[in-house]
Amino acid sequence: MNESMYKYMKVGTIHFMSYPETMKGDGPILETLEKIAKDPYFNAIEVTWIKDAQTRKAAKKLFETSHLTVAYGSQPRLLTTGLNINSLDENERQKALATLKEGIDEAYEIGATGFAFLSGKYEEATKEDSFNALVKSTKEMCKYAKQKGNMPIVLEIFDYDVDKKSIIGPVSLAKRFAESIREEYDNFGLLVDLSHLPLLRETAEESILPIKDYIVHAHIGNAVSKDPSFEAYGDAHPRFGFPNSDNDVPQLVEFLRVLLDIGFLNTENPPIVSFEVKPWGDEDPDVIIANSKRVLNEAWAKL
């Protein structure tokens, strides 16, 4: 592709994956946010909960002064606490819903343009009940967000039987789910992640084409799926080029090509496409970010 990728997308990184010590809402949040804010490669950033109000205020100012588009990822609110938004235990479902509503409030507070979450675990015997619980919770979130503004609620598609074991899930169920929510709420969309395709055992076309009308956000990264004995097996988001991993430049080229073909990557309203890559072991986070940039630059040049 001869044209700049910035014509077609806002390039971001997921702050709490790039710097995982911030994932629980504390730690060196501002110091690491500043690293990204000072890097002109990025014109978007994704953050999660920031527990301290003064830190949130400072972060918002940083986003404004750096001209970064911000999105909010609430996944750590669920993954670090064990809460399940489609739990069949109503008390647990309400707890999960409450923390996500708090996240929606935070997202509006910092000026986020979208709010992402993930579905929870399920049992095959009660899968339909879990699906219905997820629909109920998501509609409640969409209603809550709509009362405050226009920020979309976005479900990220995860693996359903490897690591996170989220009900959404396979593309057929993701499509059915999106259709169910969009019947009532237009402030809903889906998030596709290159990292999860090997875990879903779906190609880019298989994973994207059936839900092309609902995709509003994308992540790019890597996974190890071939053998449970391999290092970083599962949904660990290792760097590109990690031993025995699935994604590198060719897979990213294909992913971007499909997103371009369906009009998701576009010049009228460029969407956020963020790195979801996490340092493994003692790897330097800044080196891993540089790795991701090189891979995206090379992939875009090959489109």
Q: Which domain holds residue 242?
A: 5-302
Beta bridge partners of 115: 72, 153
Kindly report, residue by residue over 63-118, the tens digit of the pLDDT: 999 999 999 999 999 999 999 999 999 999 999 999 999 999 999 999 999 999 99
Decide if 167 contacts 204 (C-beta within 8 A): no
Close Cβ partners of 111 (under 8 Å, ≥ 6 residues apart):
60, 63, 64, 70
Closest residue by Cα to residue 119 from 169, 183, 153, 76: 169
What's the CA gap between 174 and 156, in Å, rounded? 10
d(CA 142, CA 150): 10
Q: How confident is the model at residue 1 (pLDDT cuts 50, 70, 90)?
A: confident
Rounded CA separation 10/269 (Å): 10
Neighbours of 282 (CB within 10 A): 5
- Separation of alpha carbons 210 and 194, rounded Å: 16
pLDDT in tens, 198-210: 999 999 999 999 9
- CATH at residue 264: 3.20.20.150
pTM of the model: 0.95
Q: Give the count of domains, the chain.
A: 1
